[in-house]
Amino acid sequence: MRRLKKLFHGSLFVATVSLASFACAQSPDAHDHHHHMEMAPESGRTMIGVYNLPNVELVREDGKTVSLLKELNDGRPVILNFIYTTCTTVCPVTSQTFSLLQTALASEKNKVHLVSISIDPEQDTPARLQQYAKKFGAGSAWNHYTGSVEASIAAQRAFDVYRGDKMNHSPVTLLRAEPGRPWLRIDGFPTVADLLNQYHNLVVVN
């Protein structure tokens, strides 16, 4: 009997590993398989963090050069992510979530600053960002930013999302109630309901 149990558990372990390996091999985003195995698409790991923001200039989708610090510290709550326009895996999902979040925010949508920063600034010109923003129905409170490679990397490093290659990026969403407050970091793919709840919790607490 003990031997049968041992064989059963051994077979179950092999089957589980084989299934996980198969799932990763079938994933269109195989380079990010570790992430996808750790959490379901609708969930995310959250933590509170304090980030030292760099004093760099970025270029908004309207072509205006702006200070990252001023854009993030204009008094509004901020919900931020990193994207690039030619991404076919992570970014369309996170951008669609932002798009739906605008609707879910209802009368509050113009009071919350949604920020998407390109990790591929050499390709993502302001004009391309405008097209991308239009594709996802970005409203006036949702801005997209590009700029120099150095400025983009500085922003990525500041929020600990820099991975050296855009193909290795992972979904990260950051929320902050107001300037001077800590950031809530969500690693993974939160649902619109998740983001809305986290936003309301932050605003109420702060």
Q: What is the DSSP string of 101-125?
A: HHHHHGGGGGGSEEEEEES-TTT--
CA distances from 196 to 68, 79, 144, 168, 202 (A): 24, 10, 20, 27, 10
* Average pLDDT rounded to a whole number, residues 111-123: 98
Q: Supply the pLDDT for residue 206.
A: 59
The number of CA neighbours under 13 Å toward the Cβ of 32 is 22
Q: Computed from CA positions of residues 106, 110, 111, 113, in that sequence, does the dihedral angle turn out positive or negative?
A: positive
Query: pLDDT at position 168, please?
Result: 87
pLDDT at 18: 34
**pLDDT at residue 155 is higher than 50:** yes
For residue 27, the model assigns a pLDDT of 33
How does pLDDT run across 156-185, given as a tens digit for each residue? 999 999 999 898 899 999 999 999 999 999
Which residues, 6+ apart, have CB-to-CB distance to 17 below 8 Å? none
Higher pLDDT, 91 or 25: 91
**pTM confidence score:** 0.78
Q: For the sheet with 172-176, list strands across it.
A: 44-49, 183-188, 172-176, 78-83, 113-118, 142-146, 57-60, 65-67
The pLDDT score that the predictor gives to residue 97 is 98
pLDDT recorded at residue 45: 79
pLDDT at 120: 98
Per-residue model confidence (pLDDT) at position 84: 98
Q: Average pLDDT, stretch 120-133?
A: 98
Residue 166: DSSP 8-state: G
pLDDT computed for residue 46 by the predictor: 86
Separation CA 174–CA 168 (nearest Å): 19
| 35-91 residue pLDDT tens | 332 333 445 678 888 999 999 999 999 999 999 999 999 999 999 999 999 999 999
Task: Give the chain's end-to-end CA distance (angstroms, integer).
Answer: 59
Higher pLDDT, 23 or 134: 134
Confidence check: pLDDT of 99 > 50: yes
